[in-house]
Copies of this chain bind each other. A is one copy, B any other.
Amino acid sequence: MGPPKKRIAFTADRPTGCLHLGHYIGSLLSRIDLQAQYESFVMIADTQALTDNAGDPGKVIRNVHEVCKDYLAIGIDPAKTTIFVQSCVPELFELTSYYMNLITVARLERNPTVKAEIQQKGFSESVPAGFLCYPVSQTADITAFKAELIPVGEDQLPLIEITNEIVRRFNRTYNTEVLLEATAVLSSVQRLVGIDGKEKAGKSLNNAVFLSDSEETIREKIFSMYTDPDHIKVSDPGKIEGNVVFTYLDAFHKDKEELESLKSQYQRGGLGDTVLKDLLNGTLQNLLRPIREKRASISVKDIDDILWAGSEKAQKIACETLREVRNAIGINYTHAIR
């Protein structure tokens, strides 16, 4: 008997842009902890990104390397975490196809996460079939690796519910225990707002601080941050709530005591935005400099090697799960035809 098998954690990102500070505190940091405790898989979900970017595949494909660079730069260690590209594991397509028969269209249409995204993306009546069905392909991604721990934001809980519904239906229908139910591990971190105070931050809105931003860009973004529009003179009392500089200081400034005293001073009046922005700039430059330097040291060949090795490993595992799934369904025929 060997040592007890480590449980498996699975996360993924759609490569539609570089990763930013919101990803960093919301999800990336926790993966460093995960890889220490669990066998970890991190998937670059290029195929899933195509479900709403079919017309702009270049954006997706360019960002596969960028996202991988971000992973390595923040400390995801390919020796501990299998980093791989979704489209390089074609077994996932076949698993998806079997799972598609175990869930109804109506159930997919009731999914609140996808419903909200459909509204947000303005699809209205033109929802691509692939987009409606991406939770099924996500089920394939998770189950292929027998992952049990899925770190997610609260808005993604309905996706894990769908995964588990399909898992239970599969196991019941084919009288098997091949597939494992997954547990959502909720992030305790609140979603980080954009530098303009908008809830959604990202490349298209140009309102996020990216892990790859230059020193100057970071400074510019911080100095353009939304604060308190009524705080005009230094002596005016200022508001903390909705003040993006404080939101970011709360998220990234280590000295919480100093921060509390600055908040009091700001509310009383007598503290200028520039002082706070300088403080935040120092904090973020210290955080992002080593990440940027690590990023710059990674060659295209490094990335290729890591993605190749990760995808090869992921494919072997997915292939084995697919074999089990086919056996459970009974589509295995004789050895002669597959």
Contact of B330 with A57 in the complex, beta carbons under 8 Å: yes
Report whether A93 and B97 are in contact in the complex, using a CB–CB cutoff of 8 Å: yes
Contact pick for A338, options B88, B103, B126, CB 8 Å: B88
| A337 with B304: CB separation less than 8 A | yes
Which residues on the B side are within 8 Å of A46 (C-beta)?
Answer: 331
Residue among A51, A108, A173, A334 facing the most chain B CB atoms (10 A cut-off): A334
Instruction: Give A132 to B308 CA distance when docked, in angstroms.
Output: 35
| Identical copies in the complex | 2
Q: Which of A132, A337, A338 has the most CB of B within 10 A?
A: A337
Asked if A90 lies at the interface with its beta carbon under 8 angstroms from chain B, I say yes
* Residues of chain A from 147 to 176 with CB closer than 8 A to chain B in the complex: 173-174
Could you tell me which residues of chain A, from 89 to 143, have a CB within 8 Å of some CB in chain B?
A: 90-91, 93-94, 96-98, 100-106, 108-109, 125-133, 136-137
| A85 CB contact (under 8 Å) in B51, B91, B136, B337 | B337
Q: Which of B50, B102, B109 contacts A128 (CB 8 A)?
A: B102
Among candidates B173, B304, B305, B311, residue contacting A54 with C-beta atoms closer than 8 Å: B173
- Chain A facing B: main interface SS: helix
Pick from B105, B126, B307, B330: contact of A58, CB below 8 A.
B330
Q: Which residues of chain A from 6 to 58 have a CB within 8 Å of any chain B CB?
A: 46-47, 50-52, 54-55, 57-58
Report the Cα distance A331→B61, complex, angstroms. Answer: 6
In the complex, A64 has a CB within 8 A of chain B: yes
A61-B330, A304-B337, A338-B87 as given contacts; A97 in contact with B96, CB under 8 Å: yes
Chain B contacts for A54, CB-based, 8 A: 98, 101-102, 173
A329 beta carbon closer than 8 Å to chain B: yes
Min C-beta distance of A83 to chain B, whole Å: 11
Among A136, A174, A329, the most chain B Cβ lie within 10 Å of the Cβ of A329
State whether B104 touches A57 (Cβ < 8 A).
no
Query: Which residues of the partner chain B approach A333 to less than 8 Å between Cβ atoms?
Result: 61, 64, 85
9 closest Cβ contacts across the A-B interface? A100-B130, A54-B101, A93-B93, A101-B130, A304-B336, A93-B94, A100-B129, A308-B337, A101-B128
15 CB < 8 A contacts A-B: A46-B331, A50-B331, A58-B330, A87-B331, A90-B90, A90-B94, A93-B94, A93-B97, A97-B130, A97-B137, A104-B129, A105-B105, A133-B133, A305-B336, A307-B336
